[in-house]
Amino acid sequence: MRIIITGGTGLIGSALAKNLAADGHEVIVLSRNPARHTFPAGIRGEKWDSKTAVGWGHLADGAEAIVNLAGAPIAGTGLLPSRWTEERKHRIRQSRIDAGTAVTEAIAAASKKPKVLIQSSGADYYGDVQSDQIITEAAPNGSGFLADVTVAWEASTAAVEAMGVRRAIIRSGMVLSLESGALPITVLPFKFFAGGPLGSGQQWWPWIHLEDEVRAIRFLIENETAVGPYNLCAPNPLKNKEFAKVIGRVMNRPAIMPAPTFALKLALGEIAAIVLDGRRAIPEKLQADGFTFNYPEAEAALKDLLN
């Protein structure tokens, strides 16, 4: 089947594309500059402006699925997070709305519409929940910049449901991979024997191994009854302090050097929220639908990645 992926050169998109291509599916990755990328066998890049369906929209006609992952990186493109200027915050939000608008435009014009749209989002949808409250997909959206971005991101493709297209929304937790994302910067202090909790350490971190993230997205593509929001995170989230202890055990390093809240906010500014905010999100709907995790526990996930 033909599957179109926006954001297909990023961490999740590239892993998903390779996984689908390995099973013989026709995978099309939309990129603003496909010539800059080398795509593995079975994957082809198509140019788009990330704002409209011009030049690629015809590919949606008869496609099995579209996976919309596109959006400017929340933490920037370097190893260390980049501060959120007002211009960067606008780009983060608008890039997601623009991509959703382009996908909706392509689906509206298709004679034979895709069967399913997988719409990316994040566990940040629930805002900062500094309590032990369990957060399922039924919880309301929270407040703050990241929560507002995810609300707008989800809404950007809502119109396809009235077109008869099944839509599943993936509210991903921290995706664990050493290629990019939050894990490399999280483990860096441990390499120098300076790791420990961030801020109070009491904030809950929902997380998911990249392998399970890809498997869950495929599950939602293939499960014809899957609709609405899904928390893509392992069933056993940890408080940041406990997560740090697990990293320390796996790497055989101490986990006793805290990074105080004031220091993180001073160094990073508003973007410190990506590590200081928390919510105890669990994958209630995903498990109820029959999905099983290869890595339900953080220690096994981190051993796989770090050892």
Tokens found for residue 102? 């382009």
Residue 270 located in a structural domain: no
Written as one letter, the residue type at 298 is A
CA–CA distance, 156 with 161 (Å, rounded to integer): 12
Question: Which pLDDT does position 181 carry in this prediction?
Answer: 85
CA–CA distance, 66 with 107 (Å, rounded to integer): 9
Residue 68 located in a structural domain: yes
Domain range for 155: 2-176+206-235+279-294
Question: Which pLDDT does position 76 carry in this prediction?
Answer: 75
Residue 225 located in a structural domain: yes
Residue 134 located in a structural domain: yes
Residue 56 located in a structural domain: yes
Give the count of beta carbons closer than 10 Å to the beta carbon of residue 283: 26
In the numeric block, the tokens 């703050």 are attached to 144
In the chain, the N- to C-terminal Cα span, in Å, equals 36
Q: Which CATH number do you get for residue 90?
A: 3.40.50.720
Residue 196 located in a structural domain: no
Q: How many domains does the chain have?
A: 1
Question: Which pLDDT does position 223 carry in this prediction?
Answer: 97
Which three-class secondary structure state does DSSP give residue 164?
Answer: coil
Question: Which pLDDT does position 79 carry in this prediction?
Answer: 66
Rounded average pLDDT per 10-residue block, the chain, 307 residues: 95 97 97 91 95 96 97 80 90 97 98 98 96 97 96 98 98 95 91 95 98 98 98 98 97 95 91 94 98 98 96
Cα dihedral 273, 274, 278, 283, rounded to 10, equals: 150
Residue 155 located in a structural domain: yes
Residue 35 located in a structural domain: yes
